[in-house]
Amino acid sequence: MRLRHVISSALIAFTLTACPSEDETSCPPDDGVMDDEMYPPAECSDDIPELREEMKVLGTMGKIQAELVTADKIPLGWFYNDWTVKFTGPDGEPLEGVTIDKVEPYMTVHQHGTTVPIIDELDDGEFDVSAINIVMAGPWEVRFTVKADGVEDYIVFNVCNAQPRPVTNANACE
Ligand SMILES: [Cu+2]
């Protein structure tokens, strides 16, 4: 069992509050009943797109653009999603000294987040962002706070998890 899985299991237990401990019994239930009782299932409005490669999002300051280079689950899926994200200037020009200060998956309609993703720098401005933990169906914000060349920007991928709940939670608990 890798460390990030231990941490994630503990944080899922904390986030969903219905789970008493860090051991395997802390995994969410397989049947989805508890989940549906705590939060009514959410649907995505028509303006929330499904995730796709080469998706580009400009920061709210208009200074930094993020591009989804690859993702292991397209469209967005349950539990861990691993993305490669590239940050450039607003017109795609390279940036130097890019750092990600924060990544936060957040479900605005329910006002909750999940566990903290793992960030690994691959190249200038390009990062592997893994364990983006999507624990419910519905609309999600994957929020990035990014700095480069002395500027900071806030970039939000608005994406939809429209997949049916998996029969097992093996991906979150193994
Ligand atoms: Cu939710």
> What are the structural domain ranges in the chain?
1-38, 42-165
On whether the 42-165 domain is CATH 3.40.50.1440, my answer is no
User: What is the percent of the chain with per-residue pLDDT over 70, rounded to a whole number?
Assistant: 74
Tens-digit pLDDT profile for residues 157-167? 999 999 888 87
Q: What is the pLDDT of residues 79-90, one digit of tens each?
A: 999 999 999 999
Q: Taking residues 119-141, what's their average pLDDT?
A: 96
pLDDT of residue 6: 39
CA angle, 1 then 73 then 29, to 5°: 55
pLDDT for residue 11 is more than 70: no
102 CA to centre of ligand 1 in angstroms? 20
CA of 62 to the centre of ligand 1 (A): 29
What type of residue sits at position 113?
G
Q: What is the pLDDT of residues 59-68, one digit of tens each?
A: 999 999 999 9
The answer on pLDDT for 40 being more than 50 is yes
Residue 14 has pLDDT above 60, yes or no: no
90 C-alpha to ligand 1 centroid (Å)? 31
147 alpha carbon – ligand 1 mean position (Å): 29
How confident is residue 4, by pLDDT bands cut at 50, 70 and 90?
very low
- Tell me the CA–centroid distance for residue 106 and ligand 1, in Å: 8
- Give distance in angstroms: CA of 39 to centre of ligand 1: 6
Cα torsion angle, 13, 71, 125, 5, sign: positive
Could you write out the DSSP letters of every residue in 22-83? SSGGGSPPTTSHHHHHHS------TTSPBP-TT-EEE-TTSS-EEEEEEESSSS--SEEEEE
Cα 122 to ligand 1 centroid, rounded to whole Å: 31
